[in-house]
Amino acid sequence: MADVRVRFAAALRAQLAALALLVALAFGLRRVPTWRSVVPVGLLIGSLATLGVAALSVPVILLGFDGFFARFHELLFAGDSWRFADTDTLLRLYPRAFWQDTAQLTAAIVVAQAVAVCLLAAAWLHRVRRPPRGAA
């Protein structure tokens, strides 16, 4: 589990760094008229891409979860270090249902975040592209 912890921590740091970069870009570009819509457009495209990947993943997961699960872990871990015997303590403490529930919850959180970002980015973009008050 140490390798999982290392990869998860790296992913979390990358997510926080991306968030900090987006916030810095948003503040930096908001006053430049020609670049004002870049951040909301990027967020909108990214959130729609995330939702697209999620939608395409559902049939793959439902039709062949075991294959999806194996390929996912083969991408992240060397060899068979991620495979455990049914008698291993890890699987007795955290049975398969736990991992399936965790994966479903994680997917739901990702989709909810993508929907929230999509809505906020669309509203932001609408506000940026709206003509100024008093303009004819």
pLDDT at position 67, please? 86
* Token representation of residue 90: 């890890």
Q: What angle do CA 20, 10, 110 make, to 5 degrees?
A: 70
Residue pLDDT, tens place only, 33-66:
778 888 889 889 999 999 999 999 888 888 888 8
- 134 sits in the region (left: phi over 0; alpha: psi -120 to 50; else beta) called left
- Parse the chain into domains and list their residue ranges: 2-129
Residue pLDDT, tens place only, 67-118:
888 888 888 888 887 888 888 888 888 888 888 888 888 889 999 999 999 9
State pTM to two decimals.
0.72
* Neighbouring C-beta atoms of residue 114, cutoff 10 Å: 19
Instruction: Please name the residues in contact with 121: beta carbons below 8 A apart, sequence gap of 6 or more.
Output: 40, 41, 43, 44, 47
